[in-house]
Amino acid sequence: MGKRNARFGPLVAVIGGSQATPEEAAAAEAVGRALAEGGAVLVCGGRGGVMEAACRGARAGGGVTVAILPGSDASEANPYVDLPIVTGIGFARNAIILLTAQAVIAVGGSYGTLSELGYALGFGRPVVGVGTWRMDRDGHPEPPIHREDDPQKAVAWVLERVGDQE
């Protein structure tokens, strides 16, 4: 993992489903706000659900939001995205999100979140989960996803790890 850009804070991905329960949306919004207040740049898929809630929180906290969009139209970004990046590559954009981020916070999640978790772990990114997937495989330990119930603690955990990369 490379060092962060000196002009911006650490790049932290927030991943989760495009449909969010009220609890997931509240957690994602709190995560986004805490990331902004901690000086991080939020990177996400830029659409609805967890992504929109996290961007809304980051915007409210005065932060910067970057969306790596699956389609070829910037207007598909949620209204809280500052920098929409269109890719036209569909779900393959998940790899770009996780290569761009220095760390990952997963809130809830659907099947697409599983692929993002796989990329994040495969790329060696620190991952913290707030109510996200648990995975097991016979004969293998559970993947190294740190668990937190509190969004602020999840952000603190991530910011400690990306601070070590600077």
- For 71-85, the pLDDT digits (tens) are 999 999 999 999 999
Q: In this predicted structure, what is the pLDDT of residue 3?
A: 52
Residues with Cβ within 8 Å of residue 62, at least 6 apart in sequence: 36, 37
Instruction: Check whether 127 has a pLDDT greater than 50.
Output: yes
Task: With cut-offs at 50, 70 and 90, classify the pLDDT of residue 136.
Answer: confident
Q: In this predicted structure, what is the pLDDT of residue 1?
A: 45
Terminus-to-terminus CA distance in the chain, angstroms? 10
Domains in the chain: boundaries: 11-161
Task: With cut-offs at 50, 70 and 90, classify the pLDDT of residue 6.
Answer: low
Burial class (CB in 10 A: 0-12, 13-18, 19+), 141: exposed
pLDDT above 90 covers a percentage of the chain that reads 84
pTM for the model: 0.94
Q: What is the CATH number of domain 11-161?
A: 3.40.50.450
Going by their DSSP bridges, the two strands 103-107 and 64-69 should be labelled as unpaired
Segment 105-134 mean pLDDT: 95
- For 27-49, the pLDDT digits (tens) are 999 999 999 999 999 999 999 99
